[in-house]
Structure 1
Amino acid sequence: MTVEPYRNTSEACSLVDLHIRHRYLPAMYGVISVVGFMGNLMAIVVYAVKLRPWQSGSVIMVNLATADLLYALSLPFLVYFYITGDWTLGEFTCRFTRFCFHFNLYGSVLFLACIAAFRYAAVAHPLRAARVRRRRRGVWACLAVWAVSLAEITPMLSVITTRREGNRTLCLDFASNEPEQVWWYGWLLTALGFLLPLGVVCWCYLRIGATLGHSLSARQPSRVRAHRLTVVVLVVFVGCFLPYHVLRALRVASLRGNTMSCGLKRTINTAYMLSRPLAGLNAFFNMPLYTLAGDKFQQAFSSLVWQKRSISRRTDVVPAICSLPKTR
């Protein structure tokens, strides 16, 4: 079922530059989709082929890569929509695409929080590190993350709608749907899906920093890697997720009433559109986590690449030998 356009000044003031909608969004989503797909698929292959048996950290990393991979796979539908300006795939596909977008986005948030919690447990309580690293712990943590993400995002299926504008159909993003339905659900999603994991991440890494600061081996490579891991995770939360959640709340607030000026509403909507691909850039910034996680990912990746090159050279040498002229 499609809904008619909101016939109010809020909707008229929310129009954004067509260059953002038809060029910026598809270009950004296209790059994120291609790089995110290739990078995270390669990460899964490396973990599956070169880094067995898995510990709890490996299990979480594989699930994080899976979430980012599924996120990347949902983006081509949005790229097509923003290029053409017409959604022709039906309302169910619209809802499912937006659902996948947010499901894997918030799944990534929770997996990053799990990484922080497990690392804190291993660093701050070294006597329990062996138990923390058990694969079973990682499996249960990942099952909990997928279940919580599903519970958080499932209500979105009843919120997302399509809209007719002239002879076109639009697949509305989450914040552009009926504002009274989106307002409280959006705040609940922000609190439980973003702010709570952000608090967990900040607390864990503050405690990790304090523990490493009192450690005699604070300058060892493993300690330096832990500091870099902290920086990467905080960059993802603050640089990617924070602007999106702030501007999404402002976008919904601008649609709820007429107290804002038309120019301010346009500015908010433009900034919100710009922030949406930024949230997807976590698929980029998550990739350095694989090399910083302490699973010897970099060595395993190099080994896999050189193995493929060696096999390729052997297959090239065999036909060359067979083609040599026979001497009598």
Structure 2
Amino acid sequence: MASLVLNETGMENCGIDDSFKYNLYGVVYSVAFVLGLATNCASLFVFCCRMKLRNETTLFMTNLALSDLVFVFTLPFKIFYNVNRHWPFGDTLCKISGGAFITNIYGSMLFLTCISVDRFLAIVYPFRSLSIRTRRNAGIVCGTIWLLILGGGMSVTFFSATNQSKTSTTCFEGFSKKTWKTHLSKITIFIEVVGFLIPLMINLACSSMVLRTLRRPATLCQIGTNKRRVLRMIVVHLAIFIVCFVPYNSVLFVYAMVRTRALASCWVERLARTLYPITLCVATFNCCFDPVVYYFTSESFQKSLSTGKCQAMQENTLRSDCPVSAKENTAAVELHTLTSNGKDQGSETPF
């Protein structure tokens, strides 16, 4: 959403100077480029070349890594722009760079939500969800998410363009107050609701129901859930979601109110324009933190990363990649055998 909120036109009457953001962005984007490129390329290598187990969670993770890389590949252009405060790459690349940020931020939230829902189904409804948690359904969900985030990105970049002055060309800046009131405010509200508020509520609801299930000793004994491992996954997942996305989207909402003059206060404007660059930088680092989710969500990913081998045998599929482990559950093994008749056995519970 950088292209939505980096515009300062019409806000000079409060005498606010936020030029510190250029140096801040230059440093943060440089670090994010190096770390994000290394970690996500390594993750894709593991998913595509080393992991023999292909299931719905792996598909969500692969799409999450691709979403991160789309953004990472545009960072060198952003680094150049913020260091030199001049955009020489043309209007088309300016639009692509702005759209890539939206694709990354909201794509990450939606794909992380898919992983959270998949974990919820695997733990709370381990057997009844077997017919739902398939690679085909996961593929449909991923396709829908890409349509949503690309549509949102295109709707924003339609208004994003370079602006030339006598000394330099700017990108991600220059929206008028009229444009904010007529178009960008509505787009911002839609993206905030669909891309942030709904995923946040789903993540919190799924995590709370999983925690409630883990408090039942009889259930844990019956399904053989590794409580400590599941708790670690929930903590890591929610930490990345809340730390990276909640501050940014909260400040973005306030910023949009300021830009449309719904909040006409120099104090609020100063606060929003100071906090926005900071929260955006924190949100940018999500492309570096997402591989942590892969590591804690899939034990197969851990094994593939450390040994170069991924055990795709049926017994390891049940034992290692499932929080709802059926290692000692004869009924679960029989159910797995029955339900995987005619389908890839690796498409079952991934945790």
TM-score bracket relative to the smaller structure: 0.7 to 0.9
Equivalent positions of 1:1-328 (< 5 A) are 8=10, 10-13=11-14, 15-21=16-22, 23-172=23-172, 178-180=179-181, 181-216=183-218, 217=220, 222-257=226-261, 260-304=264-308
Larger deviation: 84-93 or 247-256?
A: 247-256
| Unaligned segments of structure 1, at least 5 residues | 306-328
Work out whether residues 152 and 193 of structure 1, in 8 Å CA contact, stay in contact via their aligned partners in 2: no
Which stretch has the larger CA shift, 220-229 or 294-303?
Answer: 220-229
The question of whether the paired residues in 2 share the 8 Å contact of 1:51 and 1:295 is answered with no
* SS class of match (1:189): helix
The residue identity in structure 1 corresponding to 2:271 is T
CA distance in 1, matches of 2:264, 2:166: 27
Deviation of the 1:6 alpha carbon: 7.4
- TM-score by length of structure 2 reads 0.78
CA shift, 1:15, in A, is: 4.5
Distance of 1:134 and 1:174 partners within structure 2: 46
Counterpart CA distance in 2 for 1:20 and 1:6 is: 12
**Which 10-residue stretch deviates more, 266-275 or 38-47?**
266-275
TM-score using structure 1 length: 0.83
Q: How far apart are residue 32 of structure 1 and its match?
A: 1.0
Q: Provide Cα deviations, 1:187-223, integer angstroms capped at 9, x if missing partner.
A: 1110111101111111111111111111443897732
Say if 1:14 and 1:269, in contact at 8 Å, map to a contact too.
Answer: no
Q: Residues of 2 paired with 1:174 and 1:65: CA distance?
A: 31
SS in 1 for 2:127: helix
Segments of structure 2 that go 5 or more residues without pairing to the other structure are 1-6, 310-351
2: CA distance between counterparts of 1:108 and 1:182? Answer: 22
Would the aligned equivalents of 2:40 and 2:288 in 1 still touch at CA under 8 Å?
no
Cα RMSD for the two superposed structures: 2.6
Residue by residue, what CA displacement relative to the aligned partner does 1:75-132 show, whole Å, maximum 9, x if unpaired?
1111111000011111221111100111122111110110111111111111135434
Deviation at 1:162, TM superposition (A): 2.4
Q: Deviations over 1:40-87 (max 9, x none)?
A: 110111111221130111111111111112121121111111000011
Name whichever of 198-207 and 287-296 sits farther off.
287-296
Q: Percent identity?
A: 25
Larger helix fraction of residues: 1
Letter in 1 for 2:197: L
Residues 109 and 174 of structure 1, relative CA distance in 2, 3 Å threshold: farther
- Flag as ranges the 4+ runs of structure 1 deviating above 6 A: 174-177, 218-221
Q: How much does 1:172 deviate?
A: 1.8
TM-aligned CA deviation for residue 7 of structure 1: 6.5
